[in-house]
Amino acid sequence: MNIEKIVLNNFLNLIKIDTTSDEHSKTFPSTKTQLEFAKVLAKKCEEIGLENIYIDKNGYVLASLSGTDKSKPTIGFLSHMDTSPEFKGTDIKPNIIKNYTGEDINLKGITLSKNDFPSLNNYIGKTLITTDGTTLLGADDKAGISEILTAFEYLKNNKDLKYGDIKLAFTPDEEVGNGVSHFDVKSFNCAFAYTIDGGKIGDLNFENFNAASVSIEIKGKNVHTGYATDIMINSSMVANELISMLPNKTPTNTKDYEGFFHLCDINGNVEKTNLSLLIRDFDKEEFENKKEIIKDIVSKLNKKYNNNIKLVIKDSYCNMYEILKDKMYIVDRAKEAMQKADIKPQISPIRGGTDGARLSFMGLACPNIFTGGHNFHGPYEYICLESMVKAVEVIINIAIL
C-alpha cells in the first residue's frame, strides 16, 4: 500500500468540497455543505471496509475498525470537517511543488517567501502543496481527515499488526467553536483519543488557551451635526475609545504562554456599533483578570455615556492540561509513536483550541497531534506531503503500541 499516494489522493479529493462553517448561523451544523461532506466521508469509510459507519442526527461521522488484539485499549481519532470562515474556502485550486528548491513561491497576487515564512527552509527537497493565492487550502482540517482515513485503511489491510478497537469521528463546526457541542462521548466509548489537527511535523499539544468570546453593542445618539454640541454620541467613536483602553496585548505582539485580546470585527455608524473580540490566556487566573478588564472598561464608559453599552462574555473552552496533567501516559504514547517514526516530538502549547480541549472536559482525554500544515485560515496556507505521510505513520504507531 502506497501511503503517500493514498493520503495525497484523499486530500486532493476532499479539499474540492466546500465546507466553510458560519459563525452567524443558528443551525448545527452551521452549513448544509458539511452535511453533504459527511455523506462523502461515510462512503469513503465504506470503501475502506470500516464498521459501524453512520452519520448521527447532528452530522457527526463515526466509524470503527475491530481490533486484532482485544487486550489493547480502544482509541479514538478525530478531525473536523469544516474550514474557517475567515477566508474563502470555495473553488480551491491546489498548487503542488515537487522537490522544493527554496525559492519564493509566486501565487496569484501574493508570494510565499522564506523571509516572511522561515518554516519553508525546513522543506527543501520535499513536496509542498499550496493554495493558488485566492483561497485557503483546507489542510485545517482535511489533512487530518485524510491522514486518519489512510491510517485506518492501512491497518485494515495489515491484519498481522496488533491493535485494539480503533474509532474515528469527523466533527462539524470546530472553527466556530461548536465542534463537539453535541458529541456523545459515552457512545463513542474510547479509553482516550487524539485530535489530528495540529501544525508542523512533530507538534504534540496538551495545553491550550482558556478562551472566551466577547460581544459589545454600543448605542449612540445621532442628531444633525450642526446642532450636535453636547448632544451627539457617536457610537463608532465610543468603540474607538473602548479599543484604546484595552491593554496592548494582541496576537501580533504576544507569543508562547502570553495571552491576548483580539478584535475580530467592528461594524457600525453613529447610531450603533457592534464589536466582537476574543480573550485568550493559558493561566486561569490571568484569563479571569482579562474578563474583568473588559467589564471594567465597559462600566466606565457606561457611566460616561449614559449606559449605552451592552456586554456579553461567553466562555468557549478551557485548557486541556487541567485534565491531561493526571493522564500523561496518553501523551507519552504519542511521544513514543513519533519517535518510532523517527520524529522528534515538538511539545508546545496551542495558541488556540481544538475539539480535544472540550472533549477532555467532557470525559474523553484528548491531546492534539500534527497534520503537517502551516499558515492555516488564509491564502498563505501550505502543507508538506512527507509530513502528512509521517502523520499517518504516527496514527498507526499509536494504535499498535
CATH number for the domain harbouring residue 170 = 3.40.630.10
- In the residue annotation, 207 being an active-site residue is answered as no
State the first-to-last Cα distance of the chain, in angstroms, to the nearest integer.
Answer: 21
Mean pLDDT of 146-170: 97
Residues 323 and 268 in one domain: no
Would the pLDDT of 22 be above 90? yes
Residues 216 and 195 in one domain: no
Residues 153 and 170 in one domain: yes
Q: Which of 317, 346, 370 is the endpoint of a domain?
A: 317
Q: What is the rounded average pLDDT for all residues in the chain?
A: 96
Give the pLDDT of residue 177.
Answer: 84
Would the pLDDT of 316 be above 90? no
What confidence tier does 353 reach under pLDDT thresholds 50, 70, 90? confident
For residue range 40-62, what is the model confidence (pLDDT) as tens digits?
A: 999 999 999 999 999 999 999 99
Residues 86 and 202 in one domain: yes
Per-residue b/e over 136-166, b at no fewer than 16 CB within 10 Å? bbbbbbbbbbbbbbbbbbbbeeeeeeebbbb
Residues 224 and 157 in one domain: no
Q: How many domains does the chain divide into?
A: 2
- In the residue annotation, 51 being an active-site residue is answered as no
Torsion sign, CA atoms 195, 196, 197, 198? positive
Residues 57 and 123 in one domain: yes
CATH number for the domain harbouring residue 268 = 3.30.70.360
What confidence tier does 354 reach under pLDDT thresholds 50, 70, 90? confident
For residue range 183-217, what is the model confidence (pLDDT) as tens digits?
A: 999 999 999 999 999 999 999 999 999 999 999 99
Would the pLDDT of 262 be above 90? yes
Q: Which of 298, 317, 336 is the endpoint of a domain?
A: 317
Contact 336, 358 (CB under 8 A): no
Domain enclosing residue 12, as ranges: 3-208+319-400
Give the whole-angstrom CA distance, residue 309 versus residue 341.
55
Catalytic residue among 147, 153, 174, 381: 174
Q: Kindly report the pTM of this predicted structure.
A: 0.88
Residues 256 and 323 in one domain: no
Mean pLDDT of 347-364: 91
Residues 312 and 324 in one domain: no
Q: Which of 317, 342, 375 is the endpoint of a domain?
A: 317
Contact 135, 91 (CB under 8 A): yes
Percent of residues, the chain, with pLDDT higher than 70: 100
Catalytic residue among 18, 82, 197, 203: 82
Residues 137 and 248 in one domain: no
Residue with cell 485580546: 261
Residues 101 and 234 in one domain: no
Mean pLDDT of 65-86: 96
